[in-house]
Amino acid sequence: MKNLKISTAQFENKSGDKKYNLSVIADLSKKAAQQGSDVIAFHECSITGYTFARNLSKEQMLDIAEFIPEGESIKKLREIALQNNIIILAGLFEKDKDDKLYKAYVCVDKNGLVAKYRKLHPFINPYLTPGDSYCVFDLLGWKCGILICYDNNVIENVRATALLGADIIFMPHVTMCTPSTRPGAGFVDPQLWQNREADPTSLREEFGGLKGRKWLMKWLPARAYDNGIYVVFSNPIGMDDDQLKNGCSMIIDPFGDVIAECRTLGDDFVTAVCTPNKLTDAGGYRYKNARRPDLYKDIIGQEHTPEQKVIWLK
């Protein structure tokens, strides 16, 4: 297994404007490739936009969703990958022949679709169907997995993907800067974004505080550390519909250390080199080998009705 150079991006997407969003993906992918990256990852629904979908009817969702791999966006991603010799991961809404809708995330190289994953816990729109399987695939000699946003908050999903062999888990999000029961959570005033050039300090205080990065740091590094994996976190920056997002796209190594992070107040990407030795040097490797499933397999596997099922059935 050779070193793998991965970039993770952040950008301000436009709701429903696939042409524009793909143009930004093309630009950042080209720049990452020029700097020697093998792979670049973008956020959840980076092709379509995300938050605006909470107000869409099923007909409107079907109109913006695409078949995978036949859809035009996958063809465009392949074209970008071929032109720049880089592997691209990006998200969009998917539909199937039965008009079921999914939140999808794809990996595309110069030959076409490498992998597709459907979000297990979708909730932005009541017409989305939850995925029913994990996704682990080979990427230049590395085993990779995908979990979208809320999927990563359910810790069993991360452990299961790691136990299926994933060395790297791509974790595309649209998160932070929203109300929650946790202390310190809430929206960030969009006016701060509009005034970011004149007053970046106030915006950075909000983005870096409990509404944003401080919350992320409570749990995201632990997912990498506990499982002995690389985490590639991608998140938009700027306005997503009427909500402001704070970026912070980052790569975390198996020790739980942030080894690259976007800190600019705009479209950007950062890059890190993943080295195989960390996978076995980190504590998570030992913890996985020390597991005692005889003690808890029946506890973890006991019958349970997911809380979000009521949302899925609406």
131 and 101 Cβ atoms separated by less than 8 Å:
no
First CA to last CA distance, the chain: 46
| Other C-beta atoms lying within 10 Å of the C-beta of residue 83 | 13
d(CA 223, CA 228): 8
d(CA 97, CA 100): 7
| CATH number of the domain encompassing residue 105 | 3.60.110.10
pTM to 2 decimals? 0.96
45 and 103 Cβ atoms separated by less than 8 Å:
yes
Total structural domains in the chain? 1
Tens-digit pLDDT string for the chain (314 aa): 999 999 999 999 999 999 999 999 999 999 999 999 999 999 999 999 999 999 999 999 999 999 999 999 999 999 999 999 999 999 999 999 999 999 999 999 999 999 999 999 998 999 999 999 999 999 999 999 999 999 999 999 999 999 999 999 999 999 999 999 999 999 999 999 999 999 999 999 999 999 999 999 999 999 999 999 999 999 999 999 999 999 999 999 999 999 999 999 999 999 999 999 999 999 999 999 999 999 999 999 999 888 764 443 33
d(CA 248, CA 264): 9
Residues 6+ apart with CB under 8 A from 186: 177, 178, 179, 180, 211
What are 253-266's pLDDT values in tens digits? Answer: 999 999 999 999 99
Range of the structural domain that residue 222 is part of? 4-312
- Site of tokens 């465009």: 76
Residues 6+ apart with CB under 8 A from 129: 100, 101, 102, 118, 122, 312
d(CA 10, CA 28): 9
Coil, helix or strand for 63?
Answer: helix
